[in-house]
């Protein structure tokens, strides 16, 4: 059994830090990928494969300049036997999946190197190597390794950088470069003389737009997933309400997809999430997550009650694909590819086309979230069920990367942990950010900071990110889906 130790990281996402810099060059991209590769090398040396390298999982240790990059979210990680290849299931984020996973071939450590190649490509120009609105076509591109280095943006990138990308994005995993070999590539280990020092302003602008799309994606996709669940025929759901919510989500999807991408290449360049990962090879610690729930809840609201930073939801899947072609709005798997490829910062205005609810409705969502967590804190399962939809779905660390539906899974924790926990636990909800999606749906994202006492009676603090989707039915808000990041960290002492 592997034991993971996680650091508390406070510096935010690497990609957000990059766009805030006054200067960003190819050499800086080399330094970023070097840290990512060192992290990957470290976990590979311990026979761990991450399987979900992407921007949301690349965090900075602190706000200080030059802070180390930390690799986060090992919810889909697997343990392998050295270089042995096997079929571990279909898992990852569409834009970063390797050809061998899409072919359902045995796979292993090389899948992380493929994702690093996608990340490096994005770091250099601000958009991904593979892109198509149709998921089936996207997968065909990946399996064929159909990417290029189009002008003019790639004209200023050194041949050595392109060479490293080519070695990372090699279709045959047996011939793909390893993490250690990539670290010793001249463009990485000799960056001061090999990598270009010219400021890449256009790359920064593309990354800024890329980040904006990622921030929109989480709320829209989660709501689409919930809307799809409603439309499948829940007996207790009002047909009018489900149709309304599903229609709005699909309209958002279609509108975003129909807009021409600004700053993103249309021929095989996907505006999917950029990714960068890392923790030092000498330090196996990674980002931390909070204990399951708290005993006391305090919501810190910004002045207007809604403004704050939105942490992106995890965008992973761990289900067998049936080999069928899926349209952009048919499933959460498909939409996780297409919506992330939507246009630029202008995409924000699309959400605002829906009837805007007053600030009081956003406060109402925050209040409902506070009440839900209070029920959890008190171990009150009855109150919890009154606030949640009976078919509540969730991705949470305790479910080990699986989508859980219904209340039985949560009931176990209420009966065996929450209702019996006598030790003080304090949770602070930081920067709640509410997205109103039409009249009947809303999504809230926030950072949860938890303080608790460990088995030795010492105070501890942990942090996690959580997103909850609410649906209003019969004038009552119900929590229909939530997504919590990190690893299982409930105070089980």
The catalytic site residues sit at 52
Q: Find, among 198, 145, 180, the residue nearest to 37 by Cα.
A: 180
- Residue tagged 């949470």 (tokens): 396
Question: What is the chain's length?
Answer: 493
Strand partners, 484: 466
Q: Find, among 247, 488, 372, 347, the residue nearest to 239 by Cα.
A: 247
**241/246 Cα distance (integer angstroms):** 9
- Vertex 407, ends 402 and 412: CA angle to 5°? 85
The angle that helices 110-125 and 201-231 make with each other, rounded to 10 degrees, is: 120
Q: Find, among 28, 59, 49, the residue nearest to 114 by Cα.
A: 49
């Amino acid at each position: 059994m592997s034991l993971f130790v996680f650091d508390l990281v406070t510096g935010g996402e690497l990609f957000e830090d990059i766009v805030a810099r006054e200067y960003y060059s190819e050499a800086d991209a080399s330094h970023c990928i070097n840290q990512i590769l060192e992290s990957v090398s470290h976990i590979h040396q311990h026979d761990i494969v991450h399987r979900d390298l992407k921007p949301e999982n690349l965090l900075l240790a602190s706000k200080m300049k030059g802070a180390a990059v930390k690799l986060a979210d090992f919810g889909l990680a697997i343990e392998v036997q050295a270089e042995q290849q096997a079929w571990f299931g279909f898992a990852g984020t569409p834009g970063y999946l390797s050809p061998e996973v899409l072919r359902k071939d045995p796979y292993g450590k090389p899948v992380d190197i493929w994702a690093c190649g996608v990340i490096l490509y994005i770091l250099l120009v601000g958009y991904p190597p593979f892109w198509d609105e149709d998921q089936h076509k996207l997968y065909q591109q990946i399996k064929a390794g159909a990417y290029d280095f189009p002008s003019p943006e790639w004209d200023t990138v050194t041949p050595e950088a392109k060479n490293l990308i080519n070695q990372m994005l090699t279709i045959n995993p047996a011939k793909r470069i390893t993490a250690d070999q990539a670290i010793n590539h001249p463009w990485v280990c000799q960056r001061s003389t090999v990598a270009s020092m010219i400021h890449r302003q256009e790359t920064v602008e593309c990354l800024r737009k890329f980040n904006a799309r990622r921030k929109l994606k989480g709320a829209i996709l989660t709501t689409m997933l919930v809307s799809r669940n409603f439309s499948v025929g829940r007996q207790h759901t009002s047909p009018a309400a489900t149709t309304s919510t599903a229609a709005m989500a699909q309209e958002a999807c279609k509108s975003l997809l129909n807009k021409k991408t600004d700053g993103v290449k249309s021929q095989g360049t996907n505006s999917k999430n950029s990714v960068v990962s890392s923790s030092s090879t000498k330090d196996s610690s990674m980002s931390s997550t909070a204990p399951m729930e708290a005993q006391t809840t305090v919501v810190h609201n910004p002045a207007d009650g809604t403004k704050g930073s939105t942490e992106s939801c995890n965008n992973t899947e761990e289900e067998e694909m049936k080999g069928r072609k899926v349209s952009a709005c048919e499933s959460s798997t498909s939409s996780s590819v297409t919506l992330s490829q939507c246009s630029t910062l202008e995409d924000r205005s699309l959400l605002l086309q829906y009837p805007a609810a007053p600030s009081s409705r956003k406060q109402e969502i925050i209040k409902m979230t506070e009440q839900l967590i209070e029920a959890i804190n008190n171990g009150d399962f009855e109150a919890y069920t009154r606030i949640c939809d009976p078919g509540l779905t969730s991705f949470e660390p305790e479910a080990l990367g699986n989508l859980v539906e219904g209340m039985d899974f949560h009931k176990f924790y209420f009966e065996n942990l929450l209702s019996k926990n006598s030790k003080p636990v304090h949770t602070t909800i930081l920067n709640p950010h509410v997205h109103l999606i039409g009249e009947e749906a809303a999504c809230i994202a926030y950072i949860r900071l938890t303080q608790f006492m460990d088995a030795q009676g010492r105070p501890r603090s942990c942090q996690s990110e959580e997103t909850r989707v609410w649906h209003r039915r019969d004038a009552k808000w119900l929590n229909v889906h939530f997504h919590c990041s990190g690893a299982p960290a409930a105070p089980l002492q």
